[in-house]
């Protein structure tokens, strides 16, 4: 089998669709600032999430759907590109990929458009063999809520409801933290006129995020919509079964 392509191959195709932000009814504890809610969310022992990135250029959308679970050193992520419509009207499902960080190993599943032989679909990499700044680990963390929360932390957002359950406001597009957070999701395209919206739950955690902007020429728009939920719930992941993955070390020896 050729080296299993990183999930970064899928990211490079880009895209997304909006996620509705739902908030439970009832009385809520007030947070004094969005920064406080972001801090509490980052400290959550675990959470599940889904977010869509939607880039529209001159009426033509590119969509990427991301879903996953995050609990300290355990991260499970799935990525799927939006469906494509062929000239004859046929709908072709978009390619997908997955990554799993489980204890000492990082597993990368070959994107669906990569042809692999037999049952081998995953590449297993020993985390100890990777540097802290390795591209594989960076691409994985870029597909968690962490970059979106960093953008919220830089925003000049104010509560729009008396109970501070919804915050809205602008964020500087050229802020280095914002640039670094959004570049991997936007294909490196810089979007201006950035605005954020964050919904806060009764637990004073961030439950919904919307980030929107446009390019300087106004021809391309960006919308990222995210839902965060199941905070603190036990997270159990099942690593790929024996016979469905190959170790990177063995693969390197065979090349």
Give the count of beta carbons closer than 10 Å to the beta carbon of residue 104.
12
pLDDT band at 49 (very low <50, low <70, confident <90, very high): very high
What whole-number percentage of the chain has pLDDT above 90? Answer: 59
Q: How far apart are CA 36 and CA 198, in angstroms?
A: 12
Tell me the two tokens of residue 174.
């050229």
Residues across the chain: 255
The predicted-structure confidence for 110-166, as pLDDT tens digits, reads as follows: 777 665 667 888 999 999 999 878 888 899 999 999 999 999 999 999 999 888 899
pLDDT band at 19 (very low <50, low <70, confident <90, very high): very low
**DSSP state at residue 252:** H
Domains of the chain: 8-254 (2.50.20)
Q: How far apart are CA 26 and CA 202, in angstroms?
A: 8
Rank 3-12, 36-45, 105-114 by mean pLDDT and report only the highest: 36-45
The bridge status of strand 192-200 relative to strand 166-170 is antiparallel
The predicted-structure confidence for 232-249, as pLDDT tens digits, reads as follows: 999 888 899 998 888 876
Radius of gyration of the chain from its Cα atoms, rounded to whole angstroms: 19
Q: What pLDDT is attached to residue 24? A: 34
pLDDT reading at 4 higher than 80: no
Q: Give one word for 154, left, alpha or beta, with left for phi > 0 and alpha for psi -120 to 50.
A: alpha
7 CB burial (10 A radius; 0-12, 13-18, 19+): buried
Looking at per-residue pLDDT, the higher value among 196 and 15 belongs to: 196
pLDDT reading at 3 higher than 60: no
Looking at per-residue pLDDT, the higher value among 9 and 164 belongs to: 164
Q: What pLDDT is attached to residue 184? A: 93
């Amino acid at each position: 089998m050729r080296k299993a392509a990183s999930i970064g191959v899928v990211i490079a195709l880009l895209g997304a669709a909006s996620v509705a932000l739902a908030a439970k009814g009832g009385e809520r504890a007030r947070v004094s600032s969005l920064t406080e809610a972001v801090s509490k969310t980052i400290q959550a022992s675990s959470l599940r999430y889904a977010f869509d990135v939607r880039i529209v250029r001159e009426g033509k959308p590119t969509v990427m759907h991301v879903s996953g679970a995050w609990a300290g050193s355990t991260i499970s992520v799935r990525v799927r590109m939006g469906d494509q419509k062929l000239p004859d009207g046929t709908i072709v499902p978009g390619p997908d990929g997955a990554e799993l960080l489980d204890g000492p190993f990082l597993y990368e599943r070959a994107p669906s458009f990569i042809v692999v032989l037999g049952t081998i679909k995953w590449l297993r990499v020993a985390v100890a063999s990777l540097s802290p700044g390795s591209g594989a680990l960076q691409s994985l963390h870029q597909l968690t809520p962490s970059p979106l929360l960093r953008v919220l932390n830089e925003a000049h957002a104010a509560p729009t409801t008396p109970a501070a359950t919804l915050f809205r406001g602008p964020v500087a597009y050229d802020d280095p933290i914002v640039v670094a957070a959004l570049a991997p999701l936007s294909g490196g395209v810089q979007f201006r006129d950035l605005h954020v919206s964050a919904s806060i739950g009764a637990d004073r955690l961030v439950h919904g995020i919307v980030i929107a902007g446009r390019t300087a020429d106004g021809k391309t728009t960006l919308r990222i919509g995210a839902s965060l939920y199941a905070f603190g719930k036990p997270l159990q992941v099942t690593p790929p079964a024996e016979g469905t993955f190959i170790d990177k070390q063995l693969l390197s020896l065979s090349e």
